[in-house]
Amino acid sequence: MPLAPAQLRSKLGGVIAFPCTPFDAKLRLDLAGFRKNLRRLAEHDLCAIVVGAGTGEIHSLSTDEHLAVVKAAVAEIGGRRPLLAGVGFSPQTAIDMAKSSTAAGVDGILIFPPYYPGDPNDDGMHAYYAGVAAATKRGVIIYSRDYANFSPAAVERLATIPNLVAFKDGQGDLRRYQQIIARVGDKLHWIGGAGDDLVPGYYSLGVRSYTSSIANVAPRMSLALHVAAASGDRATVDRLMREYVVPLYAFRGRRKGYEVSVMKTMMDLQGQVGGRVRPPLNDVKSEEVKELKAMLGGWKMWL
């Protein structure tokens, strides 16, 4: 049985993995490869897995493809880990995706900001998130990213949505996040969602969950980073950041979209199914693949 909202919230301490969605050479969805990757991922002690989200290239999926990804994940994970689906785009599309994902058997919904060409106001944004949340009985998480950059007062109001259980920060503005947490307190569960490289900052605020794209390649490293940061083992955190995380994120920063492309290439290099990225993202340049292969050579203890 899927988890109730309170049950989902209780399980969200630790590492939340965001699997890539594999596409073949012709950019077709590779569900067999996706399930192969999930089998490996589910062996690790992750607190949740979110499919069809940012690292899963939600922006490039049709609604039918998104549902196929969700159904494949539900079948493969089989309740071994809490499973969530990302939803977004227009309000109605997000509602439809939330309904279909709920019917498919997910434990929760991660709500992306709506597509909007301007700067929406707090009332409109609240109506959007409340409307999507009302489309499911599962627990929902709001993903603050891009222009969905909320004030503490706006988050306090969002916290009144009955099945909202957590807030994922994707802004990386620790000052703002600190203000939000101070105002809203334990009404929501707080997630560090701007990258593995911000774990030291997030955990200094008392956050004890983070979303990891590194988990696609080295889930053991992601889990070690969480344990060290949560226990205050600064020496281990500093070493992991210096030797692995910071160099990787510097590489990913070379080109917009490389946060997905690089992880897919590293997955291919270690025998998983990463595959290509769909436009508007770009595949890693051929001359850079050797650099990533060399980087992975130093990751052997974590693979």
Whether this prediction's pTM lies above 0.95 is answered by yes
Give the pLDDT of residue 176: 98
Active site residues: 143, 168
Residues of the chain with pLDDT under 50: none
pLDDT, residue 117, reads 81
Instruction: Return the pLDDT at 88.
Output: 97
Q: Which residues are within 8 A (CB) of 102 and not within 5 positions of it... i.e. 6 or more apart?
A: 2, 109, 135, 136, 137, 138
- Phi, psi torsion values for 292, nearest 5 degrees: -70, -35
The fold of 5-231 is TIM Barrel (3.20.20)
Residue 145 burial by CB count (10 A; 0-12/13-18/19+): exposed, middle or buried? Answer: middle
